[in-house]
Structure 1
Amino acid sequence: MDDVDRVLEQTIDALLGQRRPGASICPSEAARAVDPDGWRDLMPAARSAAGRLAAAGAVEVTQSGAVVDVATARGPVRVRRPR
């Protein structure tokens, strides 16, 4: 894991910490916070960071409100604290 991966994980955690309990974020919010100009290039890494955090039990990745595996999910996903 490189520095960008670690920063993305920390950013996801920090963004969730700023939200009300039960709220979610889009991985793009973390990518934009890390690199406002090149965030689109960070999207695969941001989704991977969310997947690693989910595997560790720190977050849940959802799609249409249902928990999904970010590695196989197609389309937009959200990240939230586990319920």
Structure 2
Amino acid sequence: MRGKRAIGGGRRQLRHVMFQAALVASHHNPILKTFADRLRAAGKPHKVVITAVARKLVTIANALCKSRLKWANQAA
């Protein structure tokens, strides 16, 4: 495939919510901010960075659900 890719699968409303959550998390969560900054420094486009943060948020949410733990903000 050539050109830019787009995400079209899944539930549209959930994608929008995850994008907004990732946008906020990439600026305010210390761990995800360093992750996003590292991707930006590597020259990744803005939407690629936010999508990667959203995927990481989903992974964190799944791990919390599986282990039945509550979110505990950890210092980087």
Does TM, normalized by the shorter one, top 0.5?
A: no
Indicate the structure (1 or 2) with the bigger Cα radius of gyration: 2
More strand by share: 1
TM-score range, shorter chain: 0.3 to 0.5
More helix by share: 2
